[in-house]
Each structure stands twice: as structure tokens, then as C-alpha cells.
A = this chain, B = another copy of it.
């Protein structure tokens, strides 16, 4: 490769090393998950010594916490989506969501977060707080009526399923479809979950009480 100066000590010129490490970490976490990504591999990809990674981020968890930050600000993005004709809010939401995932840079961070959520119970809680709380919670705040939580839960479930099929398992032909094609087919589903008629639970009739947990 390049002439990797093995010499110790500070390198001349301004240093973009911290950012390089973060980029390498995002890629590594995305490609191999939290456990699979090693500090040594991240350091090698960034062209630095493993100890320098720890020097900057303290620990592997600290590195992950910075690498997996949300690439946009929910506080401003969500209201912008909700504002406007409620009948087409689903299209805007889906379009925004797919754009975030189709952009390579933000996809890496998101995928790392998702992978960690699937693996680690602790990360799942973090995911719940961040994704559910900051994103879906804001959507729920703009919706009227009872059963709002179920509605946004279904929306989140739909989005998660899309991510899984399209970006993780890469199920064809869904994975290669242009975003607009997905919007055309899935937006009606989300729109129904948001504002359409829904047989909400707790309605009279069936009284089956049953918990899926152990």
C-alpha cells in the first residue's frame, strides 16, 4: 500500500485522523456487526495503531456510540414530514426514509445501529429509545385519537421490514428496485396504518389474553 510511516510520534500537518477512524469504524461495524468488528481492523483500515483508537474514543463502546449516531436531526426532520397534507404524509415519510438508507454514508451508521440492536439486548434498548422514542414518538405526537402507539408501531415495523429485505438480506427483486417503485407500492400500507381504518385492539369481541414473552 502507501508508505505507512511506522515511526511513532505526531505526524506533520493538520490531522484528520479522528474522522478517518470514525469512517473506518462505521464501515467495519456495518460490515461485521459490533462483535465482528475489531479495534485492530478499524485501526488498520484507518492506517493507525489500535491504541490510537482507544486514545480517541476510550473504549470500543465509546467508538460505537459515536459511529452509530443518527445522521439527521429528528427534531427538525419529522415535523417537516408531518406538515402538509395528512393524506400524503406516508409518501413523504417513506421517501425520506428510503433516501436516508440509499445514501451510502448514512446507511452505514444506521445499519450498524440495527445490527447491534439485533445482537445485543442492551443495544436493543438503546435502539428502542432512539428510534422509537425520537422518531416514532414524534410521529405519534402529531396523530389524533386512541391507538396511536399501535399505529406508529406498525409503521415502524413496516419500515424495519423494508430495511431487512432491501438492505440486509438483499432479497431480489426488492433490493434493486428504485426507491420510487417501493414508495408506490408501500406508501398505501403506511398511509392506512397512519390515518386509515384499523381494527384496533381492545375493541369489543375477542378477549384473547396471551403474552408472547416467556
Which residues of A come within 8 Å of B, CB atoms? 31-33, 35-36, 85, 87-88, 91-92, 95, 101-102, 104, 114-115, 117-121, 124, 127-128, 131-132, 149-150, 153-154, 156-162, 164-181, 184-186, 188-189, 192-193, 198-201, 206, 208-214
Residue among A32, A166, A210 facing the most chain B CB atoms (10 A cut-off)? A210
Q: Name A150's contact: one of B95, B174, B206 (CB within 8 Å).
A: B174
With A157-B161, A161-B162 known as contacts, the answer to whether A118 contacts B114 (CB < 8 A) is yes
Residue of B nearest to A124 (CB): B169
Within the complex, the shortest CB–CB distance from A60 to chain B, in Å, comes to: 14
- Which residue of B102, B164, B198, B208 contacts A157 across the interface (Cβ within 8 Å)? B164
Contact of A128 among B85, B167, B170 (CB under 8 A): B170
Q: Which residues of the other chain, B, contact A149 by a CB distance below 8 angstroms?
A: 172-173
Chain B residues within 8 Å of A208, by CB = 178-180
B-side contacts of A193, CB under 8 Å: 185
Do B168 and A157 touch (CB < 8 A)? no
Q: Is the CB of B118 within 8 A of A168?
A: yes
What separation, in Å, do the CA atoms of A180 and B212 have in the docked complex? 12
The CA of A156 and the CA of B201, in the complex, are separated in Å by: 24
